[in-house]
Structure 1
Amino acid sequence: MRFQRPRSALEQLPAIPMKPESVKILLSAAEYRQELLKQISKAKHRIYLCSLYLQHDEAGAQVLAALYAAKAARPALDIALLVDWHRAQRGLIGEAKQVGKMMGNAAWYQEQSALHQGCIPIYGIPVQTSELFGVLHLKGFVIDDGVIYSGASINNVYLHQQEKYRHDRYLLIQNATLANTMVDFIRRHLLCSAAVHRLDRIDPPGTRSIRAEIRDFRANLKKARYSFDADIKQNTDVLSVSPLVGVGKNNPLNRVICQLLAASKKQITICTPYFNFPLAVTREINRALKRGVKVDVIVGDKAANDFYIPPDQPFKVIAALPYLYEANLRRFAKSHQSEIKHQQLNLHLWKDGDNTYHLKGMWIDEDYALMTGNNLNPRAFRLDLENALLIHDPQHQLQNQRNAELVSIMQHTSVINHYRQLEKVRDYPHEVRKLLARLSSVRLDRLAYRVL
């Protein structure tokens, strides 16, 4: 889709005004964990946590214990956890299934709920009838009138509970209108659905028995929007935020992402952990390069991908994904070698020891910043329920924080000066080469790019 007047479209987005002192960007997973636990302990009237998963590990247990402690100290606290229905009921990838026994995190939720008289509901949100074709990728925690927004889920590596961390972005906004808007969306469009059930209760219904409800739920989600009384449009000189949501092809969030790229005049900076842009995004990046816009893409090295398995460890099929993404990046770099040579296109590879990279989002010129859990890949554009916060900063009041975040990200990157710096498929481990060849021979690699 070609956007003839992208700036005009962006300027018409309803927006919530903010004060610059109400916005804070954190720079590390450890700092994020500390802030989350502090905010939970201080909560006075509500806590709504929406995450792909809450893992049964030390960090997950610490967060859940903090929630139970907050509820015990203030019984009137309105607390709700929302996680993906499918992800919560399966074990880790490669874990053997035990017949007749509840798998995954849901079993732990039920054990903890029994110990605490079911005082905190944990809802499973089934965005699709199968995890392969859509999950809850809605991000954002609301604690009282504050919003904590990150692409991170809740487990040891995302919260840097032990030695390793998975780097993400972390945004804090104190704004009652935004907080109310996000909670209202959860209540009206998620918790009221007949497809949504509590996972902390014994014997939740099987997915097969609620397939019709899930289909209706997904159809309704395609029409769901954040709703608030907009005091301003984005064409004013006021610092503001626009919450966005979307699921399925050509949804409002997808359109805004493409409009942002189309509206760029000087600079585009993109973060994505999995280099696999949708065709619409690739087209807008190509058009921006032709307009003379400078483009920086910050992507994780294949060894910093959360699916990466070192060659000296037993091979699993999922371990081929980082190589698929790198092959995609090499093709992109090769087709744009001229722009790379003239430093109009800069490809940055992030790597910090054994840690992993999970950053998403965009910065457009000096006016717009998009915080999102959207991976900017075909799956995010077609299958998962995604959201984002678009910050419009016409007076550059957040410039110092923005620069500090980018410096923090860039300190662990190296620049690709030539596409040949990236390995060819023939250089990959034998098991990876064999699998990629098999996928390519039956064109399953194309399907993999769409759903993984």
Structure 2
Amino acid sequence: MGSLAMRMVTGRCCRSVTAMLPRLWTPPWLKQQQMKRRMFATFTTDSKLRDDQRKIVNVLSASSRMIPVRGDQISLLESPTDFYEAIKDGIRNSRRRVVMASLYIGTGKLESELLDVVADALAENPALEVTLLFDAMRSTRPTRDSKDPRFTSSAAMLSTLLLADSAKWRQRKSVVNEERLKISFYRTPDLTKALQWLLPPRVNEVVGVCHLKAFVFDDNVLMTGANMSSSYFTNRQDRYIWFRDSPPLANHFCSLIDVVSSYSFALGSGTRLLPKEASLTRKREDFCAQMASSLGEFCSPGDEGEVPETGKEFDTFCFPTIQMGPLDIRQDEQCTIALLRGLPSGTHLQLSSPYFNLTPEYEDVLLEVAERNRVDILTASPKANGFYGSAGVSGLIPKAYSLLEQNLYERSQRIAQDDCDSFRKGLSIHEYERSGWTYHAKGLWGTLPSDLEGPSLTLIGSSNLGYRSRDRDLEAQLFVITRNPHLVGQLSAERDSLFSRAVKVDSRSFLDSDRSGGYMAAKASQLVRSWL
């Protein structure tokens, strides 16, 4: 037998043996993976998703894990007051775990009362464990308007009310266990010691922050873009979606926050930040590589996450994403752009970003979408911007955002001049303004061609879709696609409520005196764009 014939026979034998192996023995990990994929196919088929919805699911599942949930267990909150009360109720009703991540917590009366609820819950329930994650630079920034002289920063208030021997829950020695309360502060690896020395507090935050927001109470998840401070509890409008009884979703965000916390500093007595083992790596490159490796499980394409309970009918699918530019993790950006490009013709896309500084990639893809669909963008008016009226350089920020908004408006108008079907497609910009309020809502709503009652697609989370979100900050988002009519109705009402307080922008809008920054504002907007 010649050598070529021998290789052919050997190849056939190898393929035959390989084909028989799964019948003889299948590794446990492969069995689990096969089961997940079968259930994924079953969910997306039996859930009666329409063709355009299934197309969206396929696009998102290529880059993110899928977590099925029931739409009747999802509710939307309307106001900052609802958000504040939901956090307090979530803490009080938790029996096993409270996990909360936010950019920072304020130092006012409402925040103090919130931490008292945490202390009471720890004292009354010995089985409860609490994990808190904040940004290190934002939380150690000196506070200028605290009513309590003890609370010189967020870190000082957390230490005083939760860690000090005088803290309420620590008075009951029988329930004191240091492992039950973990407070972590993440510091971006891009803030070197030299930069920290050169840049004063507040300014050093432009280098990068831990911007993700998620609240977990046992198996319930509250997703939002809001932070934990008095304005977000009173007159700063955001979005809030409550997912009840979803262990896979809750476990996902608990695990994510645990991993980020392991690469953060622990809050010690006073305001001392104690490095954890994972954060001791001296070289930036090594730290980023190690942390990126630890976060790999959260952004592996094709991983459908935990297998949910059988026997339940799932009509809603969640796709969590993360974006961590310093670690070269760009899952959210990839998913968002793929989703926008994959929208079927006839979709009505509505997007909100309070700080209008879209990256060129997002601007370009939105203009592409607008060539075949209707696109409405909602942003804060200068008066509804959180920096409006600030002293010094900060006061120019709303004007800088307005100039960036004007650039996109003029680009969209040049395209619209060549198209007579502007009612069914094209891009429009709307500005939210409400007396005495600021605007912070972010995300999107997608009304697909087959949606008759409202949007069946939404995105909620911490990203502003700008340069900072893409390159500097740590972000967490959640895409949701549903066929549940009650949830569709809630999304429609939420969207309509926000847009009802907005005015459509035209060329005259940019002549307003609030936007006149002249040459300096124009130059500043270009110079600092990548930092906003």
Instruction: Answer yes or no: same fold by TM over 0.5.
Output: yes
Contact 1:302–1:308 (Cα < 8 Å) also in 2:
yes
Aligned to 2:408: 332
Letter paired with 1:197:
A
Assess, with a 3 A threshold, how the Cα gap between structure 1 residues 200 and 79 changes in structure 2: closer, same or farther.
Answer: farther
TM-superposed deviation, 1:144: 0.7
1: distance between equivalents of 2:487 and 2:151?
47
TM-superposed deviation, 1:397: 5.3
Letter paired with 1:63:
L
1:419 to 495, 507, 518: 507
Counterpart of 1:62 in 2: which secondary structure? helix
Pair 1:197-2:274 in alignment: no
TM-superposed deviation, 1:353: 0.2
2: distance between equivalents of 1:287 and 1:6?
17
2: distance between equivalents of 1:90 and 1:18?
39
Contact 2:267–2:274 (Cα < 8 Å) also in 1:
no
Pair 1:243-2:320 in alignment: yes
Assess, with a 3 A threshold, how the Cα gap between structure 1 residues 120 and 29 changes in structure 2: closer, same or farther.
Answer: same
1:229 to 298, 303, 306: 306
Contact 1:243–1:390 (Cα < 8 Å) also in 2:
yes
TM-superposed deviation, 1:211: 7.6
Contact 2:68–2:314 (Cα < 8 Å) also in 1:
no
Assess, with a 3 A threshold, how the Cα gap between structure 1 residues 268 and 181 changes in structure 2: closer, same or farther.
Answer: same
2: distance between equivalents of 1:390 and 1:321?
30
Contact 2:97–2:218 (Cα < 8 Å) also in 1:
yes
Counterpart of 1:179 in 2: which secondary structure? helix
| Deviation digits for residues 119-177 of structure 1 (CA, Å, limit 9, x no counterpart) | 633211113343322111111100011001111111111011xxxx1000001001111
2:361 to 273, 280, 295: 280
Contact 2:143–2:151 (Cα < 8 Å) also in 1:
no
Aligned to 1:185: 256
2:218 to 144, 158, 181: 144
Counterpart of 1:363 in 2: which secondary structure? strand
1: distance between equivalents of 2:256 and 2:329?
20
Assess, with a 3 A threshold, how the Cα gap between structure 1 residues 121 and 38 changes in structure 2: closer, same or farther.
Answer: same
Which structure: greater helix fraction?
Answer: 2
TM-superposed deviation, 1:215: 5.6
Counterpart of 1:159 in 2: which secondary structure? helix
TM-superposed deviation, 1:230: 5.1
Counterpart of 1:241 in 2: which secondary structure? strand
2: distance between equivalents of 1:200 and 1:371?
35
Letter paired with 2:359:
P
| Deviation digits for residues 260-291 of structure 1 (CA, Å, limit 9, x no counterpart) | 2111221211000011101111111111112x
1:67-82 equivalence runs, <5 A: 67-82=118-133
TM-superposed deviation, 1:423: 2.6
2: distance between equivalents of 1:237 and 1:84?
36
Q: How many aligned positions are there? A: 420
2:528 to 439, 448, 451: 448
TM-superposed deviation, 1:395: 5.7
* Contiguous gaps of at least 5 residues in structure 2: 1-54, 171-177, 192-204, 449-454
TM-superposed deviation, 1:333: 1.1
Q: Compute the TM-score of the two structures, normalised by the length of structure 2.
A: 0.72
Letter paired with 2:323:
G
TM-superposed deviation, 1:111: 2.1
TM-superposed deviation, 1:414: 1.2
Counterpart of 2:460 in 1: which secondary structure? strand
TM-superposed deviation, 1:429: 7.7
2: distance between equivalents of 1:293 and 1:271?
17
| Deviation digits for residues 10-38 of structure 1 (CA, Å, limit 9, x no counterpart) | 24343111111110011111111112111
Aligned to 2:480: 391
2: distance between equivalents of 1:334 and 1:199?
52
Counterpart of 2:232 in 1: which secondary structure? coil
Aligned to 2:396: 320
Pair 1:123-2:203 in alignment: no
Aligned to 2:10: none
Pair 1:16-2:71 in alignment: no
1: distance between equivalents of 2:127 and 2:308?
32
Pair 1:345-2:414 in alignment: no
Contact 1:123–1:200 (Cα < 8 Å) also in 2:
no
Contact 1:304–1:355 (Cα < 8 Å) also in 2:
yes
Letter paired with 2:460:
M
TM-superposed deviation, 1:182: 1.2
Letter paired with 1:368:
L
Pair 1:66-2:135 in alignment: no
Contact 1:237–1:394 (Cα < 8 Å) also in 2:
no
Aligned to 2:40: none
Aligned to 2:141: 90
1:234-313 equivalence runs, <5 A: 238-248=315-325, 251-265=330-344, 266-290=347-371, 292-309=372-389
Pair 1:25-2:76 in alignment: yes
Assess, with a 3 A threshold, how the Cα gap between structure 1 residues 219 and 277 changes in structure 2: closer, same or farther.
Answer: same
Report which stretch shifted further, 59-68 or 115-124. 115-124
Aligned to 2:36: none
TM-superposed deviation, 1:434: 6.6
Assess, with a 3 A threshold, how the Cα gap between structure 1 residues 109 and 237 changes in structure 2: closer, same or farther.
Answer: closer
Contact 1:128–1:135 (Cα < 8 Å) also in 2:
no
Aligned to 1:104: 153
1: distance between equivalents of 2:144 and 2:527?
20
Letter paired with 1:419:
S
Counterpart of 1:171 in 2: which secondary structure? strand
